[in-house]
Amino acid sequence: MKSASGRGCTRGLVVGALLALSLLDLLIADEAGSSVWRPALVLAVGLTAVLWPAARRPAWLTPQLRTAVPALLSVLYTLTTIVLNRDAPIGPGEIAVLLSLLFIAVRHCPPRWAVACGALDVGALLTTPARYFRSVWSDEASYYTLVGLILVGLVGGLAAYLRSLDYRRMVAVDETRRGERLAIAADLHDFVAHHVTGILVQTQMARMMAADARPEQRGGDDLDPVLAGIERAATEALASMRRTVGVLRDTDTDTDADRPGRRPVGDLAGITDLTEGFASPAQRVTLHRDASLPDDVPHEVQAAAYRVVQEALTNVRRHAADATEITVGLRHDGNRLEVTVADDGRGGTQLPAAAHGGGFGLVGLTERVTALGGELGAGPRAGVGSGPGPGNGWEVRAVFPTG
pLDDT reported for residue 220: 52
Q: Is the dihedral of CA 307, 309, 310, 313 positive or negative?
A: positive
Profile the chain (403 residues) by mean pLDDT over runs of 10 residues. 61 86 89 85 93 87 93 92 82 92 94 92 91 75 86 94 92 80 67 67 73 58 69 72 66 42 63 79 84 83 87 81 87 89 74 50 77 88 51 85 80
User: Which residues have CB under 8 Å from 19's CB, separation 6+?
Assistant: 47
Is the CB of residue 43 less than 8 Å from the CB of residue 97? yes
pLDDT of residue 192: 66
Residue 69: per-residue pLDDT: 94
HEC string of 149-176 equals HHHHHHHHHHHHHHHHHHHHHHHHHHHH
| Amino acid 253: pLDDT | 40
What is the model's pLDDT at position 335? 85
For the chain, the domains span: 12-136, 267-403
Q: What are phi and psi of 257, to 5 degrees?
A: -70, -20
pTM: 0.51
d(CA 175, CA 181): 10
Residue 286, SS3? strand
The pLDDT of residue 96: 93
Contact residues for 74 (Cβ-Cβ < 8 A; gap 6+): 42, 46, 94, 98, 124, 125, 128
pLDDT of residue 375: 92
Does domain 267-403 bear CATH number 3.30.565.10? Answer: yes
pLDDT at 32: 79
Which DSSP helix (H) or strand (E) runs through 389? none
For helices 63-83 and 111-126, angle between their N-to-C axes, nearest 10 degrees: 30
